[in-house]
Amino acid sequence: MAYKLGDRTVLKAGYGLFYDTLNATDYTGITTGFNSTTTNTNSTDFGRTFTLGNPYAGISGLADPFPVRSDGTRFIQPFGSTLGVNAIAGLGANYSAQNQNHEHTRQQRWRVGVQRELLKNLSVEVAYDGSFADRGEITIRQDYLPQQYWIPGSLNVRDTAAQNALTANVTNPYLLANFASLQTSNPALYQKMSTAAFFTSPTVQANRLLRPFSQMNNNVGTTNQGFFYDNQPLGEVKVRQIQINVNRRFSGGFTANMALSFANTRSNRTVEEYDRAPTLWQDDNNSRPYRLSGGAVYELPFGANKPMLSNGGFFAALAGGWQVAGTFEMQPGSLISFTTNTTGAPGGNVFFTGDINSIKKSKPETALNPDGSIDATKYWFNVAGFETDPAKTPTSFQTRAFPFQIDGLRGPGLHYVNLNFLRNFRIGGRRTIQARVDVQNLFNYAAYSNPVTDPTNTNFGKVVTAVTAAGAMRFISFGWRITF
């Protein structure tokens, strides 16, 4: 809706409800069991004798590539779907079940703004913009280690004894010898189990047996592999934003626009692998606290049909037809994350015993010198209080105590200025030649990646990587354009 208040003011508001329908998923079934491989060795004594054919007698090995084996069969028969879920038991792979009743992500958006014409060609708009999205896709682990077995990370002490107890090798109850009856009751299953290392190993790590579906995955002690349930409609995102836009309409050879926004985006997530639903709200890197951008185009007022030097002459020919344009953008960097794991499994866990409010420095410094060397004295954030000894850092089965990110602790921001110069030359009739110069990143601003967040890394807390993507350095290009 829009409502006019007087001659120069307009009130505008809107609301929308949207559903994600763009990303259709093509579900495919697991094909385990529908193909098999039979390997026959041609010779076991480097060609002195042959198990397949006999080249010395002119008999090719391909004459009978699948000879009768000791069990009376010639090759391993695919068992198809006869084994059901047991087809993937003990294979040690990641399996993600898709939510067949997937709900499309839903987003509600609203905006209320006031636009005011201050001068004849100048207007200002101030608006509040917000959105709330739910039913976002969250992955939940199914073969999680239950909470009671995890080591409290809040103690900030590495519990090696508890870690060793969880990773200790114990008697494997799934040893194939314990299922001898399957040889007659279900020979296909017995044959399949005999080829999986999980069922032939006499021991297994203790933590594996404490998990649901412990027989299904042999990645013993591995926290980032297992069974996952995808597309759970548990994710939520909240966006709040103030937008200010100043627009100068084209007049007198000049137009400009400036936009300033203040935003906050928060989303929910799981923390530990045993979480059955998101347990934490945190700021999201899909927005910045503020962003300032703008652009302008100015036709120099010289030459024909211009306020100055319109009568022609040498100076009019020299100065006429020029146009200058530019853009700029400025925003702070992304939040520094002390983990990149988003599935709920532990990742990037750290111990910290200092004052969390002292981590952010008033004047962060980049450690990368122009010659590529690293200044060991320059840190982006204070590292005092972090445990850096690898022998004392959290174990893989220790719950998280340190936050994933610190409020206000952000990486290097960006501020780019780009300029463009062009001039049009008339060469008769409707034909023109345009010469232009484009300068990207006029001030050669150096962009840097976020600092190292691994406490065991010698460069912990330092910015040591420059962004080398195209456009990250000053770039000048020249061009000609003919219009006819």
Instruction: Calculate the dihedral angle through the C-alpha atoms of 224, 227, 233, 238, rounding to the nearest 10 degrees.
Output: 0
Specify the pLDDT at position 87. Answer: 84
Angle at 71 between CA 68 and CA 77, to 5 degrees: 75
- The proportion of the chain whose per-residue pLDDT surpasses 90, expressed as a percent, equals 52
Q: Identify which of 53-57, 120-124, 154-158, 228-232 has the greatest average pLDDT.
A: 120-124
Specify the pLDDT at position 480. Answer: 94
pLDDT band at 135, cuts 50/70/90?
A: very high
Instruction: Please tell me the chain's helix, strand, coil percentages from 3-state DSSP, rounded to the nearest 5.
Output: 10, 35, 50
Q: Which helix (H) or strand (E) holds 406?
A: strand 405-410
Report which residue type is found at 464. V
Q: By the 8 A CB rule, do 432 and 386 touch?
A: no
3-class DSSP state for residue 61? helix
Average pLDDT of span 335-353: 68
Per residue in 319-333, pLDDT tens? 777 899 999 999 999
pLDDT band at 429, cuts 50/70/90?
A: confident
Average pLDDT of span 77-94: 82
- Tell me the sheet residues that pair with 257: 247, 295
pLDDT band at 297, cuts 50/70/90?
A: very high
Q: Indicate whether 423 pLDDT > 50.
A: yes
Q: Which residues contact 249 (CB under 8 A, 6 or more apart)?
A: 121, 122, 123, 255
Per residue in 105-131, pLDDT tens? 999 999 999 999 999 899 999 999 999
- The DSSP symbol for 169 reads E
Q: Which helix (H) or strand (E) holds 206?
A: helix 206-209
Specify the pLDDT at position 23. Answer: 58
Average pLDDT of span 297-321: 76
Average pLDDT of span 336-363: 76
Give the integer Cα–Cα distance in Å for 329 and 46. Answer: 70
Q: Which residues contact 273 (CB under 8 A, 6 or more apart)?
A: 141, 144, 145, 223, 343, 344, 345, 346
For 465, the token pair is: 């990587």
For 210, the token pair is: 């404490």
- The DSSP symbol for 130 reads E
Q: By the 8 A CB rule, do 37 and 27 touch?
A: no
Per residue in 178-195, pLDDT tens? 999 999 999 888 988 888
* Average pLDDT over all residues of the chain: 88
pLDDT band at 22, cuts 50/70/90?
A: low
Specify the pLDDT at position 26. Answer: 64
Specify the pLDDT at position 265. Answer: 96
Q: Indicate whether 160 pLDDT > 60.
A: yes
Domain locations along the chain: 108-135+229-483, 146-209
Give the integer Cα–Cα distance in Å for 324 and 184. Answer: 86
For 22, the token pair is: 């763009």
Give the integer Cα–Cα distance in Å for 61 and 85. Answer: 38
For 111, the token pair is: 């905006």
Per residue in 369-407, pLDDT tens? 888 889 999 999 999 999 999 999 998 899 998 999 999
Residue of 425 and 264 predicted with greater confidence: 264
Q: By the 8 A CB rule, do 210 and 149 touch?
A: yes
pLDDT band at 343, cuts 50/70/90?
A: very low
Q: Indicate whether 137 pLDDT > 70.
A: yes
Specify the pLDDT at position 84. Answer: 85
**CA-to-CA separations, 461 to 195, 326, 349, 391, 453, in angstroms, rounded:** 47, 36, 15, 19, 6
Q: Indicate whether 278 pLDDT > 90.
A: yes
Which CB contacts under 8 angstroms, 24+ apart, belong to 426-435?
A: 430/483, 430/484, 431/482, 431/483, 431/484, 432/482, 432/483, 433/480, 433/481, 433/482, 433/483, 434/480, 434/481, 434/482, 434/483, 435/478, 435/479, 435/480
- The DSSP symbol for 43 reads -
Give the integer Cα–Cα distance in Å for 87 and 359. Answer: 51
- Tell me the sheet residues that pair with 329: 293, 416
Residue of 368 and 9 predicted with greater confidence: 9
Average pLDDT of span 283-294: 94
pLDDT band at 468, cuts 50/70/90?
A: low
Q: Indicate whether 70 pLDDT > 90.
A: no
Q: Which helix (H) or strand (E) holds 193?
A: helix 187-194
pLDDT band at 359, cuts 50/70/90?
A: very high
Specify the pLDDT at position 341. Answer: 41
Give the integer Cα–Cα distance in Å for 434 and 479. Answer: 8
